[in-house]
Homo-oligomer: A and B are copies of this chain.
Amino acid sequence: MRGVVMHAPGDVRVEDRGDPEIIHPTDAIIKMSATCICGSDLWPYRGADDVHDAPMGHEYVGIVEEVGSDVRNVRRGQFVVGSFVASDNTCEICRAGYQSRCVHAELMGHIGTQAQYARIPLADGTLVATPETPPAEMIPSLLAASDVLGTGWFAAVAAEAGPGKTVAVVGDGAVGLLGVLAARQLGAERVIAMSRHPDRQALAREFGATDIVEERGDEGVARIRDLTNGLGAHSVVEAVGTQQSMMQAISCTRPGGHVGFVGLSHDVALPGDELFSSMVHLHGGLAPVRRFLPELIRLIWDGEINPGKVFDLNLPLQDAAEGYKAMDERRAVKVLLTV
Contact partner, A261, options B103, B241, B276, B277, Cβ 8 Å = B276
Q: Which residues of B contact A276 (CB under 8 A)?
A: 241, 261, 264-265, 284-286
Write out, one digit per residue, whether chain A residues 173-212 have a CB within 8 A of any chain B CB (1) or not (0). 0000000000000000000000000000000000000000
| Segment touching B, from A19-27, A64-72, A93-101, A112-120 | A93-101
A271 within 8 A of B: yes
Contacting pair B268 A272 (CB below 8 A) = yes
Contacting pair A271 B271 (CB below 8 A) = no
User: A93-B256, A254-B93, A277-B285 in contact; A271/B272 too (CB < 8 A)?
Assistant: no
A92 within 8 A of B: yes
Complex Cα gap A292–B209 (Å): 37
Q: How many residues of A contact B (CB 8 A)?
A: 40
Q: Which residues of B contact A230 (CB under 8 A)?
A: 103
A299 within 8 A of B: no
Complex Cα gap A286–B96 (Å): 29
Complex Cα gap A294–B95 (Å): 36
Q: Which residues of B contact A246 (CB under 8 A)?
A: 272
Contacting pair A231 B93 (CB below 8 A) = yes
Q: Which residues of B contact A136 (CB under 8 A)?
A: none
User: A265-B272, A270-B270, A275-B270 in contact; A256/B286 too (CB < 8 A)?
Assistant: no
A314 within 8 A of B: no
Complex Cα gap A277–B246 (Å): 15
Contacting pair B272 A270 (CB below 8 A) = yes
Contact partner, A283, options B267, B272, B281, B284, Cβ 8 Å = B281
Contact partner, A98, options B93, B256, B264, B266, Cβ 8 Å = B256
Write out, one digit per residue, whether chain A residues 239-280 have a CB within 8 A of any chain B CB (1) or not (0). 001010010000000111000010011111111110111111
Contacting pair B279 A101 (CB below 8 A) = yes
Contacting pair B268 A279 (CB below 8 A) = no
Complex Cα gap A160–B285 (Å): 19
Complex Cα gap A266–B286 (Å): 29
Q: A287's closest neighbor in chain B, by CB? A: B279
CB distance from A165 to the nearest CB of B (A): 11
CB-based closest 9 A-B pairs: A268-B272, A265-B272, A101-B255, A98-B256, A279-B285, A269-B269, A282-B282, A265-B276, A270-B270
